[in-house]
Amino acid sequence: MPIPLLAEGFGRGLSGIPYIWTILQGVVVIGVVTLLKSYFGGATCRSERVMHGKVVMVTGGTSGIGAAVVEELATRGAQIILLTHHAPSDPFLVDYIEDVRTVTNNELVYAEQVDLSSLHSIRLFATKWVDNAPPRRLDMIILCANVMTPSFGTSQTTIDGLEAEWMINYLSTFHLLSILSPAIRAQPPDREVRVLFSTCSSYIGGKLDYNGTEKATKSGSSAYARSKLAVMTFAYAFQKHLDAYKRPDNQASNARAIIVDPGYSRTPGTRRWLSGGTIWGLLLYLITWPLWWLILKSPTQGAQTYLLAAMDAEYGRGAGGKLLKECREYQPLRPEVENEEIAKQLWEFSEKQVEQLEKQGAVKRALAKKEEEKKQKTKDDTTKTDAASSAGKKEPTAGSRRSRKAK
């Protein structure tokens, strides 16, 4: 069939082939879409590494890019510890872990309950991890947890009274790493320890306004940009903190902080932001989905730079504090993220904020416990009184004088 058509085309011209112009138009459209999809899909991680024996702690690993990173590292044999606000017995989490173990053929996937919106929950987990003797193995911490207020919404307030973006995107990272720092620095010198921070190009428009962190704001975008700018500033400062530690064995620091920008991806958070958190917005998102499919990465494509930072040998040695995007190194577009004075101010503010809020939280928990004990005591006293009252009203014994009088 194709040979006669080609012969017809050579003999009588392209116009002699049926539907030739329609076919050519279709080929052009498919070719353009393929090229655009390839361009917006970003770079691919070419690093190949077996991760058997590696212990990787992941936040935000149950959805979006974090889930794609977890699946790939678990496939390569890494032991995964998911930090999630779900209880280990939660049906969703149980099913999710079972699915990951089945797909990756790796049984070393576990979960620890850590609510990143609660400073107390973070401290309970981190202190328990650090108090272990000898120090538990820890090769990598991947911080993918992220929250973004919808474009038409108002940012939420956490249990500690903080703006959700500031707490979950930044302060939880600061608090967790501040406590885990001894465990990171205690790792043997021949072990490559990596801490992967998540950022976004929105940090370019961020402003470190500390006065607005303890109240919800109507501008979710500005709050998100501020949190990402704070994350980047802290990441560079944390690398200097690790480098300044003098190891007992006089070896050089083997821990490295790496900042990862995954690019724009079709994650649940992005979908929620685009839809504005409304039903009508979600309907509009579904109608325009082909556009988002074309210009936004899939979670797997967004995970590629994380995988490069996690597996490539280059980022396990040498200087840390690098920014990666599209599997390449970049210089930050906001030079103040590497400014020591700004980093010092952020660190001191964060420490004071955590200390103050933890004290307030401890007082609230103590009052709540006291109130609960008071209620329990009142309940017990009522039960005793009722029991004593019942014992005082004895039923007359059969055949006794009282029973005969009663008749």
Q: Residues with catalytic annotation?
A: 228
**Whose CA is closest to 309, among 325, 331, 330, 296?**
325
Q: How far is CA 238 from CA 25, 140, 209, 225, 247, in A?
A: 55, 15, 20, 20, 16
Q: How far is CA 326 from CA 196, 233, 291, 307, 384, in A?
A: 15, 21, 21, 11, 70
Identify which of 309, 295, 296 has the alpha carbon closest to the alpha carbon of residue 261: 309
Contact 149, 224 (CB under 8 A): yes
Q: What is the sign of the dihedral through the CA atoms of 143, 145, 149 and 150?
A: positive
- Is residue 310 within 8 Å of residue 54, measured between CB atoms? no
Instruction: Identify the sign of the CA torsion 240, 199, 78, 312.
Output: negative
CA-nearest of 201, 136, 168 to 59 is 168
**Tokens at residue 205, please?**
């428009």
- Which two three-digit tokens encode residue 258? 């790496």
C-beta neighbour count of 29 within 10 angstroms: 10
Helix (H) or strand (E) holding 92: helix 91-104
Separation of alpha carbons 285 and 10, rounded Å: 47
